[in-house]
Structure formats: structure tokens, C-alpha cells
Amino acid sequence: MYIKICGITKLDQAQAIAQMGVNALGFICVRASPRYISATAIAQITSSLLAAQAEIAEGSPKFAELDLIGVFLNASFSEICETVTQAGLNAVQLHGDESPEFCTEMRSHLNIIKPKIKLIKALRVKDQAGLEQAHLFSNVVDAILLDAYDPHMAGGTGKTLDWQMLRDFRPACDWWLAGGLSPENVAEAIALVKPHGLDVSSGVERTAGDKDLSKVEKFIQRCIGDRTALAHHSSAG
């Protein structure tokens, strides 16, 4: 099970969460968000994780596998590419109204600066028609993230989707469930909708952007079936 902890703003929390063996850290590159983090601050985190990686004993590939995801909302190609380069990101999540055509062109731009970069399209699902849109993206991105719809907030809402609606959702690419997940409800979500990955932000926070490490640890445990050896969990989807 792929696990992404989103809305990271603090270096020490990024290091601690990376060591728990998650697959991805998400950084909100949206100025209006209370979880906004600048490219310079992300760069401090990504370079420290790389330095830590160099010190990690052989046989512990976790840091090498870590996706460092910048989350963007209707940003331009140039803003995204500049942030990726400056911040040292290796994945981009498009969380706005970007079309499949935009994603295809984004992929071409990103390939020039980082050939192996991952591209994720987030969709804020309001209803069944909104869910159908996902299939338009499945051949142009590496993964689709389904998030809850809120008329006033673009993400980090703490609202859950209608999981019943997702029971038969099987796009042609990997998909991750987001929206209102927490240590308390994630096992039920996994059992019901069987996503390839999970994304959480507010459900493991004290306040916006300030992660509660004990909640993060509990979330991971619930995702992997309460096994205690977090460092040994498989990153396979």
C-alpha cells in the first residue's frame, strides 16, 4: 500500500515521517493554503533527506524510494518547472482544473528537466459524473488521486468522499484515495474501496501544516494492518 503524507511544512517532521517508511511526502505549493511552503523551504527539506539518505546503512532503500511531491493548483508550466528544479521535487500533483491536454503537455515540459518525474492528477469528486472524468486522465498520468469536493476549499478539507461510489472504480492507472482519512477510518476505507494508495493531511495534524507524529504513526499502522515493524512494510501498491 502506497502512503502519502501531505501538507508537510517542517524539516524535523519531514525527517521523522520519512523514517517511518512512507512512500511520499506532499508539499503544498499553493500560496492561499495555510499549508503553503516556499520552494526555498522545500529545498532545505529535500536536501536534508538526500543527505540523510547518503548516511543510511546499506539495505535500507526507503529514502531512495521516497516521492517528494509538489502540489499545484492551476499553476503555469513555468511556475511548476521552476519550483520542481528549485525545490528538488521528483513528483508533481495537479490539484486544480487542469485538463488531460494540460497534463500531456505538462509531462513533456517535465521530461525535459527530469525524465523520471511522476505526474499525479487530483480530482475533487462531487458526484458520479465527476468520477467518470478520471478515466480521461488514466493514460496521461502515473496516478489519479480522488479527493473530496468542497465549494470553498481546494484541498486539505478533512471531508470524506462517498466511498460507496468508489467500490467499482478501476481506472487504467494507479489511484490513491484522499479526503478526510484518519487513523480511525482508514482501515474501513481500504476494505471498502481497495485503492492502490492513500493520502492524508488534516487527519494527522494538530493544526494546519503541523503534523502530529503519533497520529501519523497510527495512520501507517492502520494502513498496513497494525504491524508494529513500520520500517519493514512493503512499498508495493
Ligand X SMILES: O=C(O)c1ccccc1NCC(=O)[C@H](O)[C@H](O)COP(=O)(O)O
Site for ligand X, rule CB under 6 A: 6-7, 26, 28, 30, 33, 35, 71, 73, 95, 147, 154-158, 178-181, 199-203
CA 118, 182, 98, 33 torsion-angle sign: negative
Catalytic site positions: 6, 147
C-alpha cell at 15: 525527517
Cβ contact 28:89 at 8 Å: no
Could you tell me the three cell numbers for 56? 543510511
Three-class secondary structure of residue 206 per DSSP: strand
Residue 78's identity, in one-letter code, is: S
By beta-carbon proximity to ligand X, the closer residue of 22 and 71 is 71
For residues 236 and 39, is the Cβ–Cβ distance under 8 A? no
Classify residue 159 by its DSSP letter: P
Rounded Cα distance, 121 and 94, in Å? 5
State the nearest-atom distance from the C-beta of 118 to ligand X, in Å: 14
* H or E segment to which residue 44 belongs: helix 39-55
What's the residue count for the chain? 237
Toward ligand X, which CB reaches closer, 26 or 171? 26
Least Cβ distance, residue 58 to ligand X (angstroms): 33
Q: In angstroms, what is the minimal distance from the CB of 170 to ligand X?
A: 22
Looking at the Cβ atoms of 52 and 173, the one nearer to ligand X is 173
Q: Cβ 231 to ligand X, closest distance in Å?
A: 23
Of the two residues 71 and 89, which places its CB atom closer to ligand X in the complex? Answer: 71
